[in-house]
Each structure stands twice: as C-alpha cells, then as structure tokens.
Amino acid sequence: MVNNANLIEKVAKMKAGELTCTKNVQDFLAEVEKNNKKYNIFLEINKNALKRAQELDNKRKTGDLGKFYGLVFALKSNMSVEGLTISCASKTLETYKGTYNADVVETILKEDGIILGIVNNDEFASGISGETSAFGPCINANAPLRVPGGSSAGSGAVIAAKMADVALGSDTGGSNRNPASHCGITGIKPSYGRVSRFGLMDLSMSLDQIGPLTKDVSSAAFILQEIAGYSENDAISIDRKVQSYEKKDSKYTIGIIKEFDDMIADEKIKELYINKKEKLQSLGHTIKEISIDDITLAVEAYYPIVYVEFFSGTRKLDSVKYGKKFEAAAGIEALRRAMGGQEISKSEFDGAYYKKALKVKEIISDSFSKAFKEVDFILTPISPSLPHKLGESMSVEDGYAVDVFTCPSNLAGICAGAVSVDKIKEGDEEIPVGFQIMANKFREDLMFQGLYILESLQNR
Ligand code: GLN
C-alpha cells in the first residue's frame, strides 16, 4: 500500500531510512504507469522526480533533513513550477512553461519534498466536476462512474488513486473541499492570507487560497503548518504564527446554520447530517443553531466577484506575453466568466453588480464574525447533492448551486475544511460523502479539532 501511513509517520520512516525516497517515488510512478491513462489525472510527470529522490537519499546521512523529506507532491495545473507546463487545463496555456517557482513550490523544495507532476482540473479552476478541463475529465477511483468534484479534480483524484502523498489545490469557492468530499479524502481551504498565493494563476484574487488535499486530517494539518506564513511576494499573506494543530480532547460548541437545513437537496445526505449531529451530541459536544445574514445570497454574490476578477486576470493572456489569445482558445465556461465579467464591469453599470456583491460579502463576513463569538466552529455538508454521473448534463445554474455550502467561507475569508464522513449507497455504487468544518479567520487550530472529531466518526 503506497499511501496508507499518516504523512508525519511516513516522513519519520524515510528519515530513519526504513523507506527510501527513491522507493517512495517508484511506488507512485508504478501506480501512474498502471492507471494514469485510464484516470487522466497527471497532465505532466516531472522527469526529474526520481533524480531528486536519489539526491535526497544521498543527503540522508547528513542528518540535515527538511520537514517534507521524501514526500511526493502533485500540484494543480495553475501553480507555477519552473520548467513544467502550467496550462491551467486550458488550450490557452497548453504550451506555457513555468519560468519561476510559486512560493508553495519553494517551500516544498526547501523542506525536501518531491514534485511528481502537474494534475488535471477544471479549466482555470472554474467548475465543480473537472469536466471543463480542455484535456478531458479525470476519474475518481473511489466512485469511478461519478465526477471527482472540482475544480481541483486531479488533486482529489490523485489521492484517491494513490498516486501521490499530497496534492495542493486552489480553492476559490469550494474547489479543494468539493473533490475531497467526492473522493473520500480531506481537503483544506485556509483563511484568506494564510498561504502565499504568489505563483498561482488567479481565478479570483480576493477569494483564492492554496490548500492541501490528503488522505487524513492530521496529514493535512501537518502540510498546512509548513506552507503557511508571510511572503513578501504576496501583500495579503499574513505574518501570523500558526497555532498548534495537535489533536486535543476538549468539548466544543458546534454551530449549525439554520438557513442551510432546507438547502440539502439529497435526502440521504440530509439523513447523514442529522445522524452526525446526534453523534456529536452523544460525544458531549453542544450543538447550537445559528443564523448567518444573507447566506442564501452567497452564490449570487460569489459569481459576479469571480466573473469580474477573472476577466481582469485574463487580460494578460493576449498571445504576446503568454500562450494563445484567451478569446480564441478558452473553453465555454472560462469564456462565459470572462465575457460576463467584462459585461458587468462596463461603465454604464457603474459597478452596480460588483458593488452589490461586495456588500453581501461584507454582510456575510460580519455575520460569521458574530457567530464565532457563540460557537467554536460550524458544521455543514459540503455538497447539497451527490456527485453527478460523468458526462451527465447540468444547467449552469444547477452547477453553480453546488457551491452553496462552500463559497460562503471564501466570501468571509474564514478557514474551512472537508473530511470524508461516510459512503452513500446508490444501486451498486458506494459514493463517498464529506462534511465541512468552518472556523473563524486564522483559527485553523479549531477547524482541525472539528475535522479530527468528524474523522473519528467516519463510517459510524
Ligand atoms: N465551483 C466554484 C467555481 O466554479 C469554485 C471554484 C474554485 O474554488 N476554484 O467557481
């Protein structure tokens, strides 16, 4: 089994020489060799990965080893890595090679991690299924008939397929958490400003955060702790100490958002949600119903912000500096967003849509701040429905509605994470379902406590 161990234990094993970095890479490469054609997860494999593993093995005797010693990383295709193709899963940037390393990449390398390659995602991080990738959808080994979730589809699928220890994804409105739920793993959206976005191709610069996707919660906490922190390359990154993410044995007050109760479309998800609330109570935690102002408008506020900021971000894709001309090469969803953003940015609207959206963002954010005076963290489902079948058609509105439970945390800038809680049976299929824990800005310590507790209730 290649990635069964918790990553903290795995690094310790590699540092002790019980597992070589070379063997770790070789095991994952064997999985890639066996299944990548079928699953369409890696868009590019880093040809230097094995060489780097050998160098790290040679370095072991020096004893001066980084925190990620030997760990194998897969990166979403919107993070810059020098020399690798950073296509954003778009024809626009099909041949674009990274000319520098994103801050998160520098951290991985500094801490002796290994970059195995670049994985698939929805084009320009826009979607909920991975199906908007210009290079075809990828497959979720844990529910092969269903979409793996999006937009960080490959970052979820690569963990489900046991092809890497860790994946990094970007989350603008749910993109790390939605695939984590569908793939039966853990995915984190840190507080806005927690992780440097330098080297990330923005979908929406005021909402994006980079976060880890891993098999279990403690591994995700371990990775986040190291990639977090201030960088002079990213003005909004925050110089704030990361609290300890160690598991504690405390009792918490857990918020439940009243407005969400009627928004869960799938009856079995609803049942599971009720069941978990009861289990949490029986463990001695207090469940408290709260209300968040304007939360029912979150999706309506989220998309205009994304549209406008994405439009502005795409202006550099002019075929002179980068890739092909955006308008000529981008897919339908990316075009819809950029053109929509252009339309609502027109001077005749005087920023009406954008300003209104920002107002709702502020109201939601203030309301969360108040709520976190009463509760330690908040429990919600990730998706109102089960992942749809691959290729099944869906209206734009229905697709956007999938973000109802995830995009509010991006609007508020708070942290949120998803952990797998159970599987739901549909005919012969067993489909993973994850729930979400949201905590206040820079209270990842509390968020992880919530995720640990949910994880302890997995399949129970
Ligand atoms: N589904 C959302 C969207 O399409 C989220 C995307 C993301 O988080 N990158 O915008």
Cβ count within 10 A of residue 57:
17
CA proximity to 42, closest of 179, 164, 223: 164
Q: Candidates 147, 303, 310, 403: which one to mutate for ligand 1, based on the most atoms within 8 Å of Cβ?
A: 403
Annotated catalytic residues are 76, 151, 175
Ligand 1 atom at shortest distance from the alpha carbon of 410: 8
| Centroid of ligand 1 to alpha carbon of 427 (angstroms) | 29
Ligand 1 atom at shortest distance from the alpha carbon of 403: 1
Q: By the 8 A CB rule, do 9 and 215 touch?
A: no
Check pLDDT > 70 for residue 2: no
pLDDT for the residue 5: 58
pLDDT class of 412 with cuts at 50, 70, 90: very high
pLDDT for the residue 4: 45
| Centroid of ligand 1 to alpha carbon of 174 (angstroms) | 6
Interval 49-60: pLDDT, tens: 999 999 999 999
| Centroid of ligand 1 to alpha carbon of 146 (angstroms) | 18
> Taking residues 179-197, what's their average pLDDT?
98
| Centroid of ligand 1 to alpha carbon of 48 (angstroms) | 31
| Centroid of ligand 1 to alpha carbon of 285 (angstroms) | 32
Q: Candidates 122, 123, 398: which one to mutate for ligand 1, based on the most atoms within 8 Å of Cβ?
A: 122
Interval 357-381: pLDDT, tens: 999 999 999 999 999 999 999 999 9
Check pLDDT > 70 for residue 1: no
In this structure, the residue with its CA closest to atom 10 of ligand 1 is 126
Interval 273-301: pLDDT, tens: 999 999 999 999 999 999 999 999 999 99
Which long-range contacts link 43-48 to residues 24+ away (Cβ below 8 Å)? 43/77, 43/85, 43/87, 43/89, 43/117, 43/118, 43/119, 43/120, 43/135, 43/154, 44/84, 44/85, 44/117, 44/118, 45/116, 45/117, 46/81, 46/84, 46/115, 46/116, 46/117, 46/118
> Taking residues 390-409, what's their average pLDDT?
96
Name the pTM for this structure: 0.97
Q: How far apart are CA 67 and CA 313, in angstroms?
A: 34
Ligand 1 atom at shortest distance from the alpha carbon of 207: 8
User: Which residues, judged by CB distance below 6 Å to any ligand atom, belong to the binding site of ligand 1?
Assistant: 125-128, 151, 170-175, 203, 306, 403
What is the full DSSP assignment across 103-169?
HHHHHHHHTT-EEEEEE--SGGG--SSSTT-TT-----TTSTTB---SSSHHHHHHHHTT--SEEEE
Ligand 1 atom at shortest distance from the alpha carbon of 126: 4
Q: How far apart are CA 92 and CA 333, in angstroms?
A: 13
pLDDT class of 350 with cuts at 50, 70, 90: confident
Longest CA–CA separation in the chain, Å: 66
> Taking residues 66-90, what's their average pLDDT?
98
